[in-house]
Amino acid sequence: MTSPFSVRGRRALVAMRDERDISILRRQLGRLGMIVGECDPAEVRPQDDAHEIIIVDADAIPIRSDAAPAWKTHAPIIALIGTETPSRLKWLLDLQPASFLVKPLRSAGLYTALVVAFDSALRKKDAAAHIEKLEDRIRSRRLVFAAVLQIMRGHGLSETEAFVLIRQTAMRHRTTIEQLSAEIIAAGGMPNRTPRTA
């Protein structure tokens, strides 16, 4: 995984109209070794992986209910903010930027905004993977618990004995406890391939 401190060679999309701001960003991003693309912020961008970060002038996008979702991509967003009205800030919160810069844009602060945005994206990705892993574990535990209950009822075993039987059978057949549990639930008891089917 790329370090958030390493920006050289990474692709940035600059979405703004103000030529002064575009010029500052073009120069600074170029000095940092980034590849820069440009577009008009009023255009709805396709959700693709062509850019690793998007720097958008949030003030240049009309406040509409459908505007913020159109900008949500896998790439982190750095929002350039000048207007601090409640409606604009609410729209900005819906955009969920990973970092921001304040107008008037200056050379200072861009690298910090980039590092914060890349780090935020990494943490978000790690958190999503962790949540998915935990959800898988919860689903697996439910499956195993249902199989243990079925074996307890079908064989007159205690919870510990039923789990040991499932574990030993899974090891003997070189499968996972979760896979065997799914087979037990589907078969309504221990599958026929096992020697113990009493």
Q: Give the CATH number of domain 131-187; options: 3.40.640.10, 3.40.1260.10, 1.10.3720.10, 1.10.10.10.
A: 1.10.10.10
CATH 1.10.10.10 positions along the chain are 131-187
Q: How many residues does the chain have?
A: 198
Residues of the chain below pLDDT 50: 194-198
Query: For residue 73, which phi and psi values (nearest 5 degrees)?
Result: -130, 180
Q: Give the CATH number of domain 11-108; options: 3.40.50.2300, 3.60.10.10, 3.40.1390.10, 3.30.70.260.
A: 3.40.50.2300
Cα–Cα distance measured from residue 5 to residue 118, given in angstroms and rounded to the nearest whole number: 8
Q: Are strands 77-81 and 53-57 parallel, antiparallel or unpaired?
A: parallel
pTM to 2 decimals? 0.70
**Cβ atoms of residues 7 and 114 within 8 Å:** yes
Which pLDDT score is estimated for 111?
A: 94
176 forms bridges with which residues in the sheet? none
CATH 3.40.50.2300 positions along the chain are 11-108
Cα–Cα distance measured from residue 130 to residue 98, given in angstroms and rounded to the nearest whole number: 19
Which pLDDT score is estimated for 89?
A: 86
Taking only the tens place, the pLDDT of each residue in 134-173 is 898 888 889 999 999 999 998 899 999 999 999 999 999 9
